């Protein structure tokens, strides 16, 4: 079968077989990402297991996917001839210390947790008209890997992963993008081609992953009652056939409740390029007041539902604007000095949200130096800033986080770390959000925070912070 200019891109069967180490799962957003990655989205499951226990067994019943479309041009080309991907045995979960991290005075550091939205703490946002099933399928195309060999696509593995399982592998999404997208208007065809991925012959080997994770996203509580769906009770998202799914991942609620129950000083800061921050803030404000049927204890955590902004109007200029909780027009603060922004975020309480500057990132080739700024002061022994974002990639130039470090105590300006330096801060201050794992494991966010705390304390103690 020929694609674009007669290029032979039919699908072949792989004959060789190799054993590779199990990789974790996840990927990128839709509007929040460079053009080479897919639309992702996620949410949690039913009643959570006790902290520290294994996630429950999953069912295998296929979802009611009424939105499946026939994409003749793509799926005809594939025609079910793709190589059957190879299975790999799952890796052993690393033990993570659970003792609190203390500063020099014996006090626990305040946690300032920055979180992206789509594909990090939620699956399908409430702004774009994408069903949960379609979003999850698109996500999987960007977490499944293979390569083009002599003009033919070959699967490498049947296990989704957020990182390449071997050198030279690319995602199926990347493969489709190269085939279909020549102009921005052709992205519609790409979205349609990925939305029913696991219902097509080429994606059938990944159907079990789709079914399991969709089942874990299902809203298992009564709809229409307290904690159900509807505009006044914004805890769910609609899917195909009128099904309801979790809007915000249950793992995030579990993290918030754990931090409150252990009397941690913390704040949660939503950082997104999208438009869904107001809805996510409203949903969390409603859910943490005892309205979520899976987390019935009300939390005394303030939520500022007015979305602020972090803009980068030009190089070396960053402007942060925060609004008063009771006004969408009255500024609480407008800050232009990096030290002031760091202090403001470090002193923030409760839950807040900011829209970052997507155009600046896009106009600078999606380079991490132009991404979402995250300020770190290794001389500050009272605060630890951690960001969760599915688009953070430690060794890629087109990563989404610009880590800005204060070289001296009370320095007013920060400098941007290079990608080699960033790699040392993975699972310290930077977490590449693992979407599928966070659906499976409701303690995922909590475990990652504990791991970051332990690693950061060790880094400061041994004076090995990258510079």
pLDDT value of position 225: 53
At 140, the pLDDT band (50, 70, 90 cuts) reads very high
Mean pLDDT of 8-36: 36
Bridge partners (DSSP) listed for residue 258: none
Q: How many whole angstroms separate alpha carbon 416 and alpha carbon 129?
A: 36
DSSP 323-382: E-TT-SSSEEEEE-SHHHHHHHHHH--EEEEEEE-HHHHHHTTT-GGGSEEEEE-TT-SS
Which residue is it, tokens 């060794």?
395
CA angle (364, 420, 31) in 5-degree steps: 35
| From 97-111, 165-179, 403-417, the region with the lowest mean pLDDT | 97-111
pLDDT value of position 61: 35
At 183, the pLDDT band (50, 70, 90 cuts) reads confident
Mean pLDDT of 333-346: 97
Q: Does residue 310 sit within a domain?
A: yes
Q: Note whether 8 and 151 are within 8 A (CB).
A: yes
What are the phi and psi torsion angles at 437 (to 5°)?
Answer: -65, -35
Q: Which long-range contacts (CB under 8 A, 24 or more apart) does 125-128 make?
A: 125/41, 125/274, 125/275, 125/276, 125/279, 126/234, 126/237, 126/247, 126/276, 126/279, 127/274, 127/275, 127/276, 127/279, 128/30, 128/31
pLDDT value of position 126: 80
Q: Does residue 181 sit within a domain?
A: yes
Q: Does residue 256 sit within a domain?
A: yes
Bridge partners (DSSP) listed for residue 8: 2
Q: Which residues in 169-247 belong to E strands, given as ranges?
A: 170-171, 236-238, 244-246
pLDDT value of position 128: 78
SS3 (DSSP) at 317? strand
Q: What is the mean pLDDT of the chain?
A: 80
At 103, the pLDDT band (50, 70, 90 cuts) reads low
Q: Which long-range contacts (CB under 8 A, 24 or more apart) does 362-368 make?
A: 365/397, 365/398, 366/34, 366/397, 366/398, 366/400, 367/397, 367/398, 368/396, 368/397, 368/398, 368/399, 368/400, 368/401, 368/402, 368/419, 368/422
Mean pLDDT of 341-354: 98
At 354, the pLDDT band (50, 70, 90 cuts) reads very high
How distant is the alpha carbon of residue 87 from its chain centre? Answer: 25
| From 49-58, 200-209, 396-405, the region with the lowest mean pLDDT | 49-58
The number of folded domains in the chain is 1
pLDDT value of position 68: 36
Identify which of 316, 375, 370, 368 has the alpha carbon closest to the alpha carbon of residue 344: 375
Q: Does residue 466 sit within a domain?
A: no
Mean pLDDT of 408-419: 88
pLDDT value of position 234: 86
| From 33-47, 330-344, 426-440, the region with the lowest mean pLDDT | 33-47
Q: Does residue 62 sit within a domain?
A: no
At 411, the pLDDT band (50, 70, 90 cuts) reads confident
Q: How many whole angstroms separate alpha carbon 283 and alpha carbon 296?
A: 15
pLDDT value of position 178: 85
At 24, the pLDDT band (50, 70, 90 cuts) reads very low
pLDDT value of position 238: 86
Q: CB-based contacts of 187: which residues, under 8 Å, 6+ apart?
A: 35, 181
Q: Does residue 215 sit within a domain?
A: yes
At 144, the pLDDT band (50, 70, 90 cuts) reads very high
**How many percent of the chain have pLDDT more than 90?**
58
pTM: 0.77
- Domain boundaries, position 117: 2-53+68-461
Q: Does residue 61 sit within a domain?
A: no
SS3 (DSSP) at 73? helix
DSSP 1-16: -EETTTEE--B-----
């Amino acid at each position: 079968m020929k694609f674009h200019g007669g290029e032979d891109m039919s699908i072949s069967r792989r004959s060789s077989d190799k054993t590779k180490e199990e990789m974790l799962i996840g990927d990128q957003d839709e509007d929040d990402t460079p053009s080479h990655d897919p639309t992702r989205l996620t949410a949690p499951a039913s009643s959570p297991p006790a902290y520290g226990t294994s996630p429950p067994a999953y069912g295998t019943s296929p979802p009611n996917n009424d939105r499946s479309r026939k994409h003749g041009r793509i799926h005809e080309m594939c025609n079910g001839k793709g190589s059957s991907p190879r299975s790999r045995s799952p890796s052993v979960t690393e033990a993570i210390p659970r003792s609190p991290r203390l500063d020099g005075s014996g006090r626990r550091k305040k946690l300032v947790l920055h979180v992206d939205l789509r594909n990090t703490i939620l699956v399908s946002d409430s702004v774009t008209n994408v069903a949960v099933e379609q979003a999850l399928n698109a996500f999987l195309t960007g977490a499944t890997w293979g390569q083009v060999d002599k003009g033919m696509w070959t699967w490498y593995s049947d296990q989704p992963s957020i990182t390449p399982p071997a050198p030279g592998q690319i995602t199926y999404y990347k493969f489709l993008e190269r085939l279909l997208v020549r102009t921005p208007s052709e992205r519609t065809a790409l979205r349609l081609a990925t939305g029913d991925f696991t219902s097509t012959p080429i994606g059938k080997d990944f159907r079990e992953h789709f079914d399991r994770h969709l089942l874990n996203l299902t809203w298992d509580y009564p709809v229409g009652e307290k904690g159900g769906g509807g505009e006044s009770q914004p805890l769910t998202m609609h899917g195909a056939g009128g099904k309801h799914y979790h809007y915000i991942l249950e793992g995030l609620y579990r993290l918030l409740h754990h931090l409150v129950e252990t009397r941690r000083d913390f704040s949660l800061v939503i950082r997104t390029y999208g438009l869904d921050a107001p809805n996510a803030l409203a949903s969390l404000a409603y859910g943490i007041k005892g309205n979520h049927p899976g987390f019935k204890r009300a939390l005394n955590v303030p939520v500022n539902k007015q979305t602020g902004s972090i803009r980068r109007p030009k190089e070396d200029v960053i402007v942060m604007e925060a609004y008063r909780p009771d006004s969408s027009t009255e500024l609480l603060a407008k800050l232009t000095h990096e030290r002031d922004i760091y202090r403001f975020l470090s002193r923030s309480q409760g839950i807040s949200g900011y829209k970052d500057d997507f155009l600046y990132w896009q106009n600078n080739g999606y380079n991490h130096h132009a991404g979402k700024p995250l300020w770190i002061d290794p001389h500050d022994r009272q605060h630890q800033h951690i960001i969760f974002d599915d688009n953070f990639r430690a060794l890629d130039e087109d990563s989404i986080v610009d880590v800005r470090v204060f070289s001296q105590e009370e320095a007013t300006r920060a400098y941007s770390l290079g990608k080699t330096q960033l790699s040392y801060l993975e699972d310290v201050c930077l977490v590449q959000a693992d979407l599928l794992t966070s659906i499976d494991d409701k303690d995922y966010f909590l475990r990652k925070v504990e791991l970051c705390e332990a690693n950061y304390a060790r880094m400061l103690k041994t004076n090995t912070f990258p510079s």
